[in-house]
Amino acid sequence: NNIASIYLHECKYEKAQILIEEIIEASKFVKEFDEFESLKAQNNLGLSLLYQEKYEQAQILLEKVLELEKQKFGITHIQTLTTQNNVASILKNRGKFKEAQKMYEQVLELQIQTLGFNHPDSLKTQSNYASLIKD
Q: Which residue has the higher pLDDT, 60 or 22?
A: 60
Residues 90, 84: Cα–Cα separation, whole Å: 10
Q: Is the dihedral of CA 24, 30, 34, 35 positive or negative?
A: positive
**Predicted pLDDT at 127:** 95
Has residue 22 got a pLDDT over 70? yes
- Our separate counts of H helices and E strands in the chain read 7, 0
**Predicted pLDDT at 114:** 96
pLDDT band for position 4 (50/70/90)? Answer: confident
pLDDT in tens, 81-108: 999 999 999 999 999 999 999 999 999 9
